[in-house]
Amino acid sequence: MFKYELGKKAKDKITLFEGIIVARAEHLFGCNTYGLAPQAYDKEKGKRGDTEWFDEGRLEILGDGFKAEDVQTKDPGSEYREHPKE
């Protein structure tokens, strides 16, 4: 069972990395991890930073962030999924 909902804004207590919880994983031995996607754009790299994964106990919830319905589309899928040509 997961402690935190997807879409919440969270911070890792150790590294102070902040982001939106965009994924979560349950592991065989009971450790839940969460993928945090940073909101900040990295000007040096010319892109948004990569999603980082943290154990549940390391996270502190900072706020509501986004609800799934706020970002859903009619054609769900990853940015890497091939879309049919129109």
| Segment 9-38, tens digit of pLDDT | 999 999 999 999 999 999 998 899 999 999
Name the nearest CA neighbour of 64 among 21, 23, 35, 34. 21
C-alpha triplet 83, 37, 76: angle, nearest 5°? 25
The residue type found at 40 is A
User: Whole domain around residue 30: which residue ranges?
Assistant: 9-67
For 38-66, letters b (16+ CB in 10 Å) and e give: eeeeeeeeeeeeeeeebeeeebeeeeebe
- Is residue 53 included in any domain, yes or no? yes
Report the pLDDT value the prediction gives residue 42, as an integer from 0 to 100. Answer: 80
pTM of the model: 0.76
- Total structural domains in the chain? 1
The yes-or-no verdict on residue 39 having pLDDT over 80 is: yes
Report the pLDDT value the prediction gives residue 7, as an integer from 0 to 100. Answer: 94
